[in-house]
Amino acid sequence: MKTIGAVVLLVSTMAIPASLLAKGTIVKITIKGANLPAAVEITDGGIKDFTPWAGPGVTINGIKQTEGFIIDWKPGPLSSRPNGLQRYEVSFYGKLYGQPPGAKEELVHVVVYEYDPLVGRGYVYLPGKADEWYGINSAKMGHDGLEGNWFRATRAWDDFVKPYLPKTQRTPPVSTQQ
């Protein structure tokens, strides 16, 4: 009888649209940084589709996910990135599915973001085991052991976040070759 119940549960889960299997809906994103006078809070309706629950470690309808909105997963972890970039702590708050009506939003994921205005690209650090935000992030989802690494940000994330960041300049590195 348990086998029949498990089969029914498996089949019914496969019939649920992928969007319903997500952990919840993002309702607020905050950005903090030393060069910001105050934390930036983004709550407009467009953020509900931005999810940190994407990429390696996420399986939807039996399919391992390989793409995400924030991190460009395909190139993998970076071996290096430019120094001296402004650093931002980006926090995602969500209303998790299954919460009672009226429940408050909950901190669900935190990443570190750096933007390089010289090349118009950003970098995302996914906190690792020794980092402050690892416990929050790993309680909601793991990324197949990729935590503790820097990645390229997706163009979509760079385009989304850029208007919220101060206009900064970075001087190109000085060449030591003659």
Question: Mind listing the pLDDT tens digit for each residue in 154-171?
Answer: 998 999 899 999 887 666
- pLDDT for residue 17: 32
Among 5-9, 29-33, 46-50, 78-82, the range scoring the smallest mean pLDDT is: 5-9
pLDDT higher than threshold 90 for residue 91: yes
For residue 12, pLDDT over 60 is answered with no
Q: Is the Cβ–Cβ distance between 121 and 72 less than 8 Å?
A: no
Closest CA to 137 of 91, 88, 96, 99: 91
Closest CA to 107 of 24, 163, 18: 24
The residues spanned by each domain of the chain are 22-164
Per-residue pLDDT at 153: 93
For residue 14, is pLDDT > 50?
A: no
Q: What is the pLDDT of residues 136-150, one digit of tens each?
A: 887 776 666 788 999
Instruction: Report the distance separating Cα 152 and Cα 124, nearest Å.
Output: 6
Cβ-based neighbour number of residue 31 at 10 Å = 17
Mean of the per-residue pLDDT values of the chain: 77
Tokens at 169, concatenated: 């300049």
Task: Give the residue, 9 or 98, on which the prediction is more confident.
Answer: 98
Best CA proximity match to 42, nearest among 28, 58, 25, 63: 28
CATH of the structural domain 22-164, one choice from 1.10.10, 1.25.40, 1.10.1790, 2.60.40: 2.60.40
Q: What is the average pLDDT across 99-104? A: 79
pLDDT at 41 over 90: yes
Report the amino acid identity of residue 67: E
